[in-house]
Amino acid sequence: MKPRNAADEVSLRSSPPADRRRVEPVLIDTSEVARLLSMSTSWVYREASKLGLKGYKLGRGRNAKVLYKKTDVLKWLEQQRIH
């Protein structure tokens, strides 16, 4: 068996194992949409449906959470591009 040196051990520790890689979220909440678009959360709640961004409501009443597909938001943003 080949002896390890300190550099090999550091490189092994710095790279995450295959089963612990970061997974991109499919759905993002209203505050993340607002941050992505550089707008306020109230603007997102008010304008999203008018712009064609469809939300998914999870829960009931005051505690309901509205989530959006990240791909839909990015696609809408790309459509707003000025040539």
**pLDDT, tens digit (0-9, with 9 covering 90-100), for 8-44:** 555 555 666 666 777 777 999 999 999 999 999 999 9
The mean pLDDT value for 68-78 works out to: 94
pLDDT in tens, 43-59: 999 999 898 999 999 99
User: Both tokens of residue 78?
Assistant: 């790309």
Q: Residue 18: its pLDDT value, please? A: 64
- d(C-alpha 75, C-alpha 83), whole Å: 15
Q: Is the pLDDT of residue 5 over 90?
A: no
| Kind and range of the H or E run holding 44 | helix 41-51
Q: Is the pLDDT of residue 1 over 70?
A: no
In this structure, which CATH number among 2.60.40, 1.10.3470, 1.10.10, 1.10.238 belongs to the domain 21-79? Answer: 1.10.10
59 with 65: CB under 8 angstroms?
yes
Q: Residue 21: its pLDDT value, please? A: 77
Taking only Cα atoms into account, the Rg of the chain, rounded to an integer number of angstroms, comes to 20
Domain ranges of the chain: 21-79
Please tell me whether the overall predicted TM-score, pTM, comes out greater than 0.85 for this model: no
Of 23, 44, 33, residue with least CA distance to 71 = 33
